[in-house]
Structure 1
Amino acid sequence: MKIRALLTAAALTAALPALAQEGAGTPPPADKKTPPKGQTAKAQVKDSEGKDVGEITLEQTKQGILIKGKLSNLPPGQHAFHIHEVGKCEGPAFTTAGGHFNPSKKAHGLLAPKGKHHGDLPNLYVAQDGTVQFDIFSQNGLTVKSLFDKDGSAMVVHAKEDDYHTDPTGDAGGRIACGVVEKT
């Protein structure tokens, strides 16, 4: 019995380098629970003075778009956050970003009885230190691909909070930060 165990150990030890090389360079099998990564985009957000305030990423999933961001140097409090219809962020007012992204021509507001713009998103709650980190999921037919129409799209932070029903902007006030959506 001892000889058989020693022979088995010797055979495995001799075969180990060959077995290790066989899998070299090939990635481990994919976890069947992790879906393949979808189309992605990002927006480098700047304030009205052109200073960097952070980055927003967008990732397409089967159910909608996951929008994640980490922003800083913003005024504390609630701020409307929207996707705008033009990929242009010329300060200080960012009016070049156009209106809200609204290809389906719906009324504004998450609480609007006749739907909402594709660009309507929940308010951001900026902490006293001027930072906000968020994960938002949008399921209203918005796709990453749709943001790259002929004139692109932008992510915009407003001065005031969105009331979620006043058309066309939610009474959100001026635009205080903007980032052009770009392919990654």
Structure 2
Amino acid sequence: MTRKSFVFAIASGAALVTLTTIGTWAQHAEVAPLGGVTKAVAVLHATKKGGDVHGKITFTQTPKGILVEGTVEGLTPGPHGFHVHEFGDCSSDDAMSAGGHFNPTNMPHAGPHDTKRHVGDLGNIEANDKGVAKIELLDSAISFSGAHSIIGRGLIVHAKADDLKSPPAGAAGDRVACGVVGVAKAAGMMSGTAPAKK
């Protein structure tokens, strides 16, 4: 075998190994595709006017939409507007830094069951006489990808009820809690980071 033929054989073998490795990786990628978010979470903290309002909300992908579940505590009894806002920025003491309702389709404000609505219009949550709101709702407008993605957006709880019609935000009053929707570790998901050294 000539030197040139020998080098070509080695190069061909390396290419075969590389292609085999890529093929194996692709098989795994079909199980857990890049960007395939299935669960998200938002931890809510009180604004300056929110007193002791706090909570945790999870978002889980289902075949029929995203399931929104969680608990918010420290509220006044009754309904409170509950919306996804444009920016994941809770830095100002009134949470106005989160911007307006997430509305990529430029629709009017409405209720969660209306066809023409802000993507972020999740309606109201109801606090009991102890100020605790238990949340469980299914929404097909919000998403974890594409133009309707809520990842990195703000989640706001308002002081009053959303009337589901008045622009721009349903006359829901002050923002009493704010959180940022982030990717959560789903069951069975492999961590993408190495464990910290002790």
Same fold (TM over 0.5): yes
SS at match of 1:96: helix
Where does the alignment leave 5 or more consecutive residues of structure 1 unmatched? 1-36
With normalisation by structure 1, the TM-score equals 0.72
| TM-score normalised by the chain length of structure 2 | 0.67
Residues 1-184 of structure 1 aligned to structure 2 (within 5 Å): 39-49=38-48, 53-110=54-111, 115-140=116-141, 142-145=142-145, 146-148=149-151, 152-184=152-184
Classify the secondary structure of the residue corresponding to 2:138: strand
Q: Specify the SS of the correspondent of 1:82.
A: strand
SS at match of 2:162: coil
| Structure 2 unmatched ranges of 5 or more | 1-35, 185-198
Q: For 1:105 and 1:176, locate their aligned partners in 2 and report how far apart those are by CA, in whole Å.
A: 25
Matching residue's letter, 1:139: S
Q: Identity over the aligned pairs, expressed in percent? A: 38
Q: In the superposition, relative to structure 1, how do residues 113 and 82 fare at CA in structure 2: closer, same or farther (>3 Å)?
A: closer
Query: Is residue 58–residue 68 contact of structure 1 (8 Å, CA) maintained in 2?
Result: yes
Aligned pair in 2 of structure 1 residues 94, 153: CA closer, same or farther (>3 Å)? same
Cα distance in 1 for partners of 2:89, 2:143 equals: 19
Structure 2 CA distance, aligned partners of 1:155 and 1:167? 18
Q: CA RMSD in A?
A: 2.2
Q: Contact 1:86–1:154 at 8 Å: present in 2 too?
A: yes
Judge which range, 51-60 or 86-95, deviates more.
Answer: 51-60
Q: Whose radius of gyration is greater, 1 or 2?
A: 1
Aligned partner of 1:18 in structure 2 is none
| Letter in structure 2 aligned against 1:42 | V
Shift of 1:113: 7.4
Count of aligned residue pairs for this structure pair: 144
Aligned-pair CA distance for 1:111 = 7.9
Superposition misfits of 4+ residues, deviation over 6 angstroms: 111-114
